[in-house]
Each structure stands twice: as structure tokens, then as C-alpha cells.
Amino acid sequence: MIYWFVFKKSSATCLLLPKQRREHQNVEAFLRQYGSLSPKVYSYSDIRKMTNSLQEKLGQGGYGGVYKGNLNGRPVAVKILNSTKGNGEDFINEVASISRTSHVNIVTLLGFCFNGRERALIYEFMSNGSLDQHIYGEDSKLGWEKLYKIALGIGRGLEYLHRGCNARILHFDIKPHNILLDEDFHPKISDFGLAKLCLQKESMISMLEARGTIGYIAPEVFCRNFGGVSHKSDVYSYGMMLLEMVGGRRNYSAERSHHSEIYFPRWAYQCLVTDEDLNIQRITTKEDEEIAKKMILVGLWCIQTDPSQRPPMSKAIEMLEGNLEAIQFPPKPFICSPSRSEGSSIIPLGKPTKPFIYSSSSSTLDSTEYLVT
């Protein structure tokens, strides 16, 4: 019996396929590295028990499903990963990345399960779900003051990832679906499966393949001709999300042709340069309009095609917190997104017809058209 218990684990590991063995070795190396600071490891039977056999489903994604659970009387969200997706690296990547964080605007990982093809992540429960459930459509219940505070919270969480950790964390998948909201609508960044760690002194990182979600991917991530991949790539995604929060609709839609994938940024830019009313249905007061214009201006700065023209997150937060009049009008951005069928496209915005009233130093780019294949 003693022999059986001592050698059971090692014998089982030896019988694993080489791929599975490497994954288990990665998990064991992670646990050794973090020791008592690593999240608690649970068995899959524990997962079944805390979720009451996966009874209450909260959502579904390409990675798998999310279920509501109970951990020692505390509500939790349990993400069950699809065993046919990926090779285990994203799972280890998420656990390793989020274990380094401790911030009010970053979701807390409470534990995980890694047992062969059975993998799960246990997070704190966020009662108001994800941001995308609240910002699209005319029936959005979030007022402008709340949207503004959510935008600031997300920005502070990103600034922490870029500057506040021992190792800089680049998220690479900032979008409304990955922003969770608690009972008071305080935002928390989640889903670190695509994140990359780099040294604080590193300004650029190397990547073998593009990562992220179409509509939020910075141009340099899918085409190196635009510049190096860095924390500014997250800034781009943040800017696209800001514009979606203002417009109340997705900037990208697979149903439209690639020449009209992104429409709200173009329309918003034209409204500002021509000093036209935004005419957004939810805007009812002057304060609402000021918040909307501020978020649009910061969003347009963040989605500049040239990464060097995008502000760091600290500057983006400073602009959001400052006066509208103090924000310089951004250069005219060229809207970029990878096309599924026709390569990558850059869509130039229309030429401004008159200066924006809040800035005395408006700057624009040439209206030359480009097509990158």
C-alpha cells in the first residue's frame, strides 16, 4: 500500500503522452516557483461540487463555459476550459500572469484545476457580468457618469499591468467582453490567456503570430510594417473600446464589408472636426456631451496607427481626468483592421472641413489612401 501511494503519481505521469507530460511539468514548475503564493489547486471533483455539477451557466466563449459556484460560502465564477482548444499554454499563461497581480481593477484568481484534459479557473464572482452586456443597443442602462468611471477604472487597471507589476504584463485582448463589473459596476480586467510578460525596461517584444480579437487588434500586431509590438498595442484596444462605449455599438461587424468594418470612429471624428452635435440618443445634458467628447478624443488618440503617437495609459488617464479644453485634437487616424478574406486594410477618414473648437493646435494627416496586403 505504501509503495502504491508513493509511486502512483510518478507512474501516472510517466504514462502520459509527451505533450501532456510537458503541460504537467509546466504546472509543477509554476507551483514550485510561486510556492505558497500560487493559487490553490483543486481537483475536478471539487469543481463539480462547488458548481453543483455545472448547474448554473453564466456565459459561453470560444474557450468554454463559465458557471456560477460556491466556494466556502463565497460566490465564484468557474471557467471550464474546452480541452480541444489550445495546447495548455494559454491556461498556464493565464494562471502565471494573473497570479502576479493585485489591483482593484484586476479580477482575482482564487484557484484552478489542472488534471489532464480537465482544466478550470476559479474567479471572484462579478454580479453584473461583462461590459458588453450593458453598452450595446438603445436600452443601455448605464449613464454617462457611470460609463466615465468604468473607462477610468479600466485605464487604471491597464496602467497597473504596464507599470505597476514587477514584470510588465501586456494583455492583448482588451475588449468589453473581458471587462467584468461588480455589484457597484466597478470594472475589473479579466481573461489573461493571451497575455505576455516582459521586463519593465523592454519597450518592444517579439511575437511569432498575431493575437487578439478582430476589431481591437493594433495594426502593428498583425503587420510589423506599422512598428514594434509593445504596451501601446493594449492602448489601441483600449481606445477602440472607449469609442464603442460612447457609440453604444460595435466598431467592427463581420457582416459588413471590410471597407465599412469600422464606422463610429470615422463618424465621431467628422462630428468633432466640423463642430457638429454628436446626436447620440443617450446624451441629454451638457455634462453628458462633455464626457462623450472627452472619451471620443482620448479614444482617437489611442487608436493612432503609429504606436509612437498613442499616449501611454498614464497620459490617457490624465486626459480623461482633466478638462476637455486641455485635450489637443488628435491627428487624423487611419482606421485599421485585419480582414478575414482580403488581407489587411487601412481606411482613411474624411478630410476635416474646419478646426475643432476645443483646440488651437489641430493636426491632421494626409488623406492619401493605403492598402496593405
The catalytic residues are 173
DSSP symbol at 59: E
Radius of gyration of the chain (CA): 22
The DSSP bridge partners found for residue 347 are: 335
User: Torsion angle of alpha carbons 230, 231, 232, 236, nearest 10°?
Assistant: 120
Rounded Cα distance between 56 and 66, Å, is 9
Rounded Cα distance between 84 and 2, Å, is 36
The DSSP bridge partners found for residue 57 are: 67
Give whole-number Cα distances, 336 to 128, 168, 179, 207, 246, in Å. 32, 26, 23, 19, 19
The DSSP bridge partners found for residue 114 are: 119
194 grid coordinates: 493571451
Is 141 labeled as ligand-binding?
Answer: no
DSSP symbol at 172: S
The answer to whether 177 and 132 have CB atoms below 8 angstroms apart is yes
80 grid coordinates: 471550464
**What residue numbers does the annotated binding site cover?**
79
**What residue numbers does the annotated binding site for ATP cover?**
79
